Amino acid sequence: MKLSDYIVSRLADWGVHDMFLVVGGGSMHLNDSILRESRVRYICNHHEQAAAMAVEAYARISDHVGVLNVTTGPGGGSCCAAPAAAQHGQIHPPSCGPAC
């Protein structure tokens, strides 16, 4: 089992139903594992900032944990406003990669 398979499986075990993602070279193993996990629905986005806003809105509306997977580099930096907004709104901040 790959580490990325284990991570996605554990998230599904903990009740994560939906994951938002922006594909990229640095996140391909996680993206592949997300696509293979039948208990998880994936929502693809075209831009990291839009994906971060979508996962924040999802968490606010559904009261479920929002999971966001973006690629490395500048893409990770584009999503960093969402955790601040989530914290200000007192919801669990989405994780948006190592850049934050």
Q: Using alpha carbons, select from 77, 62, 81, 2 the residue that is nearest to residue 34.
A: 2
Greater confidence (83 vs 71) lies with 71
Q: State residue 72's pLDDT score.
A: 81
Fold of 16-88: Rossmann fold (3.40.50)
8 pLDDT higher than 80: yes
Measured at the CA of 37, the angle between CA 56 and CA 13, to 5 degrees, comes to 70
Structural domain spans, the chain = 16-88
What is the pTM (predicted TM-score) of this model?
0.76
Assigned token pair, 1? 């089992």
Who's near 90: CB < 8 A, 6+ residues apart? Answer: none
